[in-house]
A and B are shown apart, each in its own frame.
Chain A
Amino acid sequence: MIHSTIGSAGHLLIIIAFVTALVATFAYFKSGIARGALAGGTVEETLTWKKFARIVFYIHVAAVIGIVFSLYWIIGNHYFEYHYAWKNSSLSLPTGYTISSFWQDQEGSFLLWIFWNTILGCVLIFTNRSWEAPVMTVFALVQAFLTSMILGVVIPGLDLKIGSTPFLLLKEVMPDLPVYKMDPNFIPKDGNGLNPLLQNYWMVIHPPTLFLGFATTLIPFSFAIAGLWTKRIQEWIRPALPWALFSSMVLGVGILMGAYWAYETLNFGSYWNWDPVENSSIVPWLVLVAAVHTMIIGRRNATALKTAFILTIATFILILYSTFMTRSGVLGNASVHSFTDLGLSGQLLIYLGTFTVVAIGLLVYRWKMLPTDEEEVSTYSQEFWIFIGATVLCLSGFQILATTSIPVYNKIAEAFGTVLNMALPADQVGHYNKFQLWFFSLIIVLTGIGQFFWWKRVGKGNLQALYNPLLITLLISAAVITFKGVKDIQYIVLLTTSIFAIVANGTILLNIIRGNYNLSGGAITHIGVALMLVGILFSSAYTKVVSINNSGLMISRSEEFTNNDNKENKENITLWLNKPEKMGDYMLTWRDVRVEPRHIPGYIPKSWVDIVEGDFHAVALRDIVVNNQKYNSKGDTIEIFPENFYYEIDYREPSGKIFTLFPRVQLNPRMGGIVSSPDIQRKVDKDLYTYVSMVTNPNAEPVWSQTENFTVNLRDTFFVNDYVAILDNVVRTDDVEGVKLNEGDAAVKAIIRILDNDKEFVITPSFVIRDRMVARKPEVSNELGMRIQFQEINPQTGKFTFGVNTTQRDFIVMKATEKPLINILWLGTFVLVIGFILATVRRFKEFIKMRNKENQPTGQAKVKPKVQTV
């Protein structure tokens, strides 16, 4: 049965949400206008409109919650008649990840964004009544645009589709599927499932965090617009600042979570790849951080105030631009993980265009009203240094944006009828680093200097307070540079400037923390950033490839390798099953392929189970015992993650200590086939990062050569597949695996010894006579790529015949790198977050204090604006 009710309800709620957002925009606008031009409207009118608007907005909130609930209901109950559920979830998906399938696709991620906006809207209504009308006008308008993206309404006559709804049935999306001709009510039994690459706990929390970051940038933007509109040119900063700080923190954490996921899951070999999708989220963040700084000084300095307006508006527009880039398909070839075009590009452009034009228009219209500085800002003032810092942040963002937008230039040129054919720089990482390294060296120095000026530790003719930190910095830097062997000038600069920032901000921190730790947010955040830079510097610039191929095999390959002094890329090594290979200081052995059971800790050997094809179950071929605990008996069916295979690689350190890594190989048709993920040996001072760069499909059956028969006597030597083999003995046996022997049955097994270079293998094929029938039990050695079957016993000649098939020996190609001091990056991240939290709390307290002060006296005088108690 098709559950059409829930989908219809969801779709209806989307329409309600869209309409209520428009009505709320209008009503809040009316309320704002009446307030702005007191002559035209009465106070009562203002309040009536406001009350009405608020009720409409609450209906909107209820509708959005209803939409979220409906979509989740569809996914959670596995209603695969719906395209969204069919495409993004499956029965086998563990509950935790069904949440992720909610936002795996575009519609769901828009919905997530809409949802956060409604929550934030409610918080604003409750905490800030005096700004409600103008701020919520902007909010509701944004909601109208966002809900229109999931509207999924076709305007009759025009053939114009507005938005794409997640509540479409599969047969509405793919009406041409042949199955619908036979059975119009066909419902798929199972869905396609969530992209296994996203089945990771980071993917459960990263998207909501990132979208909360996106959503929160709307708040400072709304306040800036409201400030311009109601001519409260400076007052908007106080309520906007804590939100701007909160937004920087959430967006920053969201971006870093994505980076950490990439580090753990993708084999880029790094946490940051300068991918256009990553870039388009970091640019608004940089501008937002710059905006925060200008907001802080904007109440005292007119230039900073103007800049605060520009940057706050720019942040939000950049978020829209980034949404456009990642969702319009414009990135096309350029990015690995952008969404595909849903036919929403036009709508996204209108969205982007509207807010750009309205915001900039309003700013230009009010520009004359903005104050100007009477005298020039002094080079020794705090404002000067903070302003410079903000500017460099913006330049850094500008550079990233200029390059990331290359595909957009092509599209624009196309629209004008020319062909540009521009491509992203071939060496993207080098291109960005070339600029960003210097920008960030400058920014991080300015954090230190800025703090000294801010806390008035230095001033005109009084710079000596900076001497001590400078001296300490030089001493520490010299020590680190010598000890760590940093040789390149640009790294020396970045390292020294970062250390200066840590020392300078640390000095300030020590000074102020004794007074009031509430004020220490800035210094702590700066220290966090400086630590992150140090971590990035060492882990990226000093990544060392450990898996240098020195097996000497490539010498056979003519000039290609003898060229260039044999120094061409040799960063991958080949490992044969169970054959130790030297890599750097380690001795490596690939032991086995393992699978991941769902309710048993760790991974179990693939040979223990038989995986049911196309399912997430496997049959145990033996008792499953892990850590001396028996979980399943032979013959049981267990649940596994069928896409994931883990390659057990032993690392023997020079000291003889052995540790094991399990890099993953995932069969992932959604990503084009086989995806490998690293495993990381984490040490305090470095990570050892290992991934498999090539394997044969772990589920593929080996291709055996034609059988070659050998007829030999006992103790004869013969050559199979270039190995020396010796038939040592043929003995009677009572125990043949997989065969039950009854009375009167007989079995013998041959003991064949095979000599490899450094190792001996013993292969024991069996020959069974059971119920007067001959059964032959072959034995396979994956290490040798060989299968031997006991063919015949000739009692007359006393000779034995063996059939031998050979195949490619199992191998993997892997790569390992060392990433020094990467933990400093993660440590810096934590410090950064703590700093942001302290700063947010402090600014929020200030706002509450101010708001209550404003409300107290006016509470009685004016017509009862509700006084909030906090």
Chain B
Amino acid sequence: MKKIQIFGLVIIAVAIGIIVSTAGDASTYVDFTKAKEMAQDGDNESIHVVGKLKKDGMGQIVDMKYQPEIDPNYFVFTLVDNNNVEQQVIYRNSKPQDFDKSEQVVVVGKIKDGTFSAEKILMKCPSKYENGKMETTEHTAAKS
């Protein structure tokens, strides 16, 4: 075999390795029911869940707590996924600015001991200037 052919094979092998690893690292969009199943099965992978904040009849957000005077790194809220399953979410960081205004929230993380521990929060807020369009912002609980 010529050197160039061996070389080509190595490249193809590395490329396949990259693809396999990307597929392995890629996260998925699931709902809370599935997330709980995964947690029970001992699957430790971080997943994406899309949901809305839990609100009462008046449109007020309920079950949300952030007390910076006690601990600025602890934020709890309740998210309702698209199948109307509620789940408490803990975000160990400061509460993202304008969190209250967000229409849709994507949490990235996993269920631990019955609560969803979020590593990252993506929020969609209604844009003031572009009707019907949403702005996305991203917040990460540091420690990468």
Interface residues of A (CB under 8 A from B): 87, 192, 269, 303, 333, 335-336, 340, 376-377, 379, 391, 395, 398-399, 402-403, 406, 421-427, 429-431, 435, 545, 549, 553-554, 556-557, 560-561, 568-574, 669-676, 693-695, 811, 813, 815
- When C-beta atoms are compared, the residue in chain A nearest to B106 turns out to be A333
Residues in chain B near residue A549, CB distance under 8 A? 71-73
Shortest beta-carbon distance, A729 to chain B, in Å?
33
A-B contact pairs, 24 of them (CB 8 A): A192-B129, A336-B137, A395-B11, A395-B18, A423-B28, A424-B26, A426-B119, A427-B119, A429-B144, A431-B25, A554-B70, A556-B70, A560-B74, A561-B74, A569-B73, A571-B93, A574-B72, A671-B135, A671-B137, A672-B98, A673-B97, A674-B97, A676-B97, A695-B97
Determine whether the beta carbon of B14 is less than 8 Å from that of A395: yes
Residues in chain B near residue A811, CB distance under 8 A? 68-69
How many B residues face the partner with a CB closer than 8 A? Answer: 59
Shortest beta-carbon distance, A549 to chain B, in Å?
6
Cβ of B92 under 8 Å from chain A: yes
Residues in chain B near residue A561, CB distance under 8 A? 71, 74
Determine whether the beta carbon of A426 is less than 8 Å from that of B74: no
- Complex Cα spacing A553 to B74, Å: 12
* B47, B92, B119: residue with the most chain A Cβ atoms closer than 10 Å: B92
Known: A269-B142, A426-B46, A545-B142. A670 touches B18 (CB 8 A): no
Determine whether the beta carbon of B92 is less than 8 Å from that of A568: yes
Determine whether the beta carbon of A427 is less than 8 Å from that of B46: yes
* Contact string against A for B residues 1-16, beta-carbon threshold 8 Å, 1 for contact and 0 otherwise: 0111001000100110
Determine whether the beta carbon of B101 is less than 8 Å from that of A673: yes
Residues in chain A near residue B53, CB distance under 8 A? none
Among residues 14 to 69 in chain B, which have CB atoms less than 8 Å away from a CB atom of chain A?
Answer: 14-15, 18-19, 21-22, 25-30, 45-48, 68-69
Determine whether the beta carbon of A403 is less than 8 Å from that of B22: yes
Cβ of B84 under 8 Å from chain A: no
Determine whether the beta carbon of A402 is less than 8 Å from that of B72: no
- When C-beta atoms are compared, the residue in chain B nearest to A435 turns out to be B18
- When C-beta atoms are compared, the residue in chain A nearest to B70 turns out to be A553
Determine whether the beta carbon of B92 is less than 8 Å from that of A573: no
Determine whether the beta carbon of B133 is less than 8 Å from that of A340: yes
Determine whether the beta carbon of B74 is less than 8 Å from that of A672: no
- When C-beta atoms are compared, the residue in chain A nearest to B138 turns out to be A336
Known: A192-B129, A571-B142. A391 touches B93 (CB 8 A): no
Determine whether the beta carbon of B144 is less than 8 Å from that of A427: yes
Cβ of B88 under 8 Å from chain A: no
Residues in chain A near residue B94, CB distance under 8 A? 572, 693-694, 813, 815
Known: A572-B93, A672-B98, A693-B93. 17 other contacts (CB 8 A): A269-B142, A333-B136, A376-B4, A379-B3, A406-B26, A422-B29, A423-B27, A425-B22, A426-B47, A431-B22, A569-B92, A571-B73, A571-B143, A574-B72, A672-B125, A672-B137, A673-B101
* Contact string against A for B residues 81-94, beta-carbon threshold 8 Å, 1 for contact and 0 otherwise: 00000000010111
- Complex Cα spacing A675 to B98, Å: 9
Determine whether the beta carbon of A421 is less than 8 Å from that of B30: yes
Determine whether the beta carbon of A568 is less than 8 Å from that of B119: no
Q: Please pick, from B46, B135, B143, the residue contacting A670 in the complex, using a CB distance under 8 A.
A: B135
- When C-beta atoms are compared, the residue in chain B nearest to A270 turns out to be B144
Lowest 9 CB-CB distances: which A-B pairs, in order?
Answer: A426-B46, A673-B98, A672-B125, A569-B92, A674-B97, A669-B128, A423-B27, A425-B25, A693-B94
- Complex Cα spacing A431 to B71, Å: 31
Cβ of B121 under 8 Å from chain A: no
Cβ of B108 under 8 Å from chain A: yes
Determine whether the beta carbon of B4 is less than 8 Å from that of A303: yes
Residues in chain B near residue A379, CB distance under 8 A? 3
- When C-beta atoms are compared, the residue in chain B nearest to A540 turns out to be B144
Residues in chain A near residue B136, CB distance under 8 A? 333, 335-336
Determine whether the beta carbon of A573 is less than 8 Å from that of B128: no
- Complex Cα spacing A303 to B130, Å: 52
Determine whether the beta carbon of A426 is less than 8 Å from that of B108: yes
- When C-beta atoms are compared, the residue in chain B nearest to A568 turns out to be B92
Determine whether the beta carbon of B109 is less than 8 Å from that of A426: yes
- When C-beta atoms are compared, the residue in chain A nearest to B76 turns out to be A560
- Complex Cα spacing A807 to B138, Å: 31
Residues in chain A near residue B137, CB distance under 8 A? 336, 671-672
Residues in chain B near residue A422, CB distance under 8 A? 26-29
Shortest beta-carbon distance, A554 to chain B, in Å?
4
Residues in chain A near residue B79, CB distance under 8 A? none
- Complex Cα spacing A671 to B109, Å: 24
Residues in chain B near residue A694, CB distance under 8 A? 68, 72, 94-95, 97
- Complex Cα spacing A391 to B10, Å: 11
- When C-beta atoms are compared, the residue in chain A nearest to B18 turns out to be A399
* A269, A395, A426, A669: residue with the most chain B Cβ atoms closer than 10 Å: A426
Residues in chain B near residue A556, CB distance under 8 A? 70
Residues in chain A near residue B119, CB distance under 8 A? 426-427
Cβ of B80 under 8 Å from chain A: no
Residues in chain A near residue B133, CB distance under 8 A? 340
Shortest beta-carbon distance, A421 to chain B, in Å?
5
Determine whether the beta carbon of A377 is less than 8 Å from that of B3: yes
Determine whether the beta carbon of A670 is less than 8 Å from that of B128: yes
Known: A398-B18, A571-B142. A376 touches B25 (CB 8 A): no
Shortest beta-carbon distance, A269 to chain B, in Å?
7
Residues in chain B near residue A87, CB distance under 8 A? 129
Residues in chain A near residue B130, CB distance under 8 A? 340
Shortest beta-carbon distance, B28 to chain A, in Å?
5
Determine whether the beta carbon of B101 is less than 8 Å from that of A574: no
Determine whether the beta carbon of B73 is less than 8 Å from that of A424: no
Residues in chain A near residue B143, CB distance under 8 A? 569, 571
Residues in chain A near residue B25, CB distance under 8 A? 403, 425, 431
Shortest beta-carbon distance, A786 to chain B, in Å?
16
Q: Please pick, from A335, A425, A569, the residue contacting B26 in the complex, using a CB distance under 8 A.
A: A425
Shortest beta-carbon distance, B43 to chain A, in Å?
13
Determine whether the beta carbon of B22 is less than 8 Å from that of A402: yes
Known: A87-B129, A670-B135, A675-B97. A333 touches B71 (CB 8 A): no
Determine whether the beta carbon of A425 is less than 8 Å from that of B27: yes
- Complex Cα spacing A491 to B106, Å: 33
Residues in chain B near residue A395, CB distance under 8 A? 11, 14-15, 18
- Complex Cα spacing A31 to B90, Å: 68
Residues in chain B near residue A431, CB distance under 8 A? 22, 25
Shortest beta-carbon distance, A400 to chain B, in Å?
10
Residues in chain A near residue B19, CB distance under 8 A? 402
Shortest beta-carbon distance, A394 to chain B, in Å?
9
Residues in chain B near residue A568, CB distance under 8 A? 73, 92
Known: A336-B136, A672-B98. A421 touches B18 (CB 8 A): no
Residues in chain B near residue A574, CB distance under 8 A? 68-69, 72
Residues in chain A near residue B122, CB distance under 8 A? 333
- Complex Cα spacing A36 to B20, Å: 46
Determine whether the beta carbon of B72 is less than 8 Å from that of A813: yes
Shortest beta-carbon distance, A396 to chain B, in Å?
10
* Contact string against A for B residues 102-144, beta-carbon threshold 8 Å, 1 for contact and 0 otherwise: 1000101100000000011011110111100101111001111
* A423, A560, A674: residue with the most chain B Cβ atoms closer than 10 Å: A423
Residues in chain B near residue A421, CB distance under 8 A? 28-30
- Complex Cα spacing A571 to B141, Å: 9
* B45, B69, B73, B98: residue with the most chain A Cβ atoms closer than 10 Å: B73
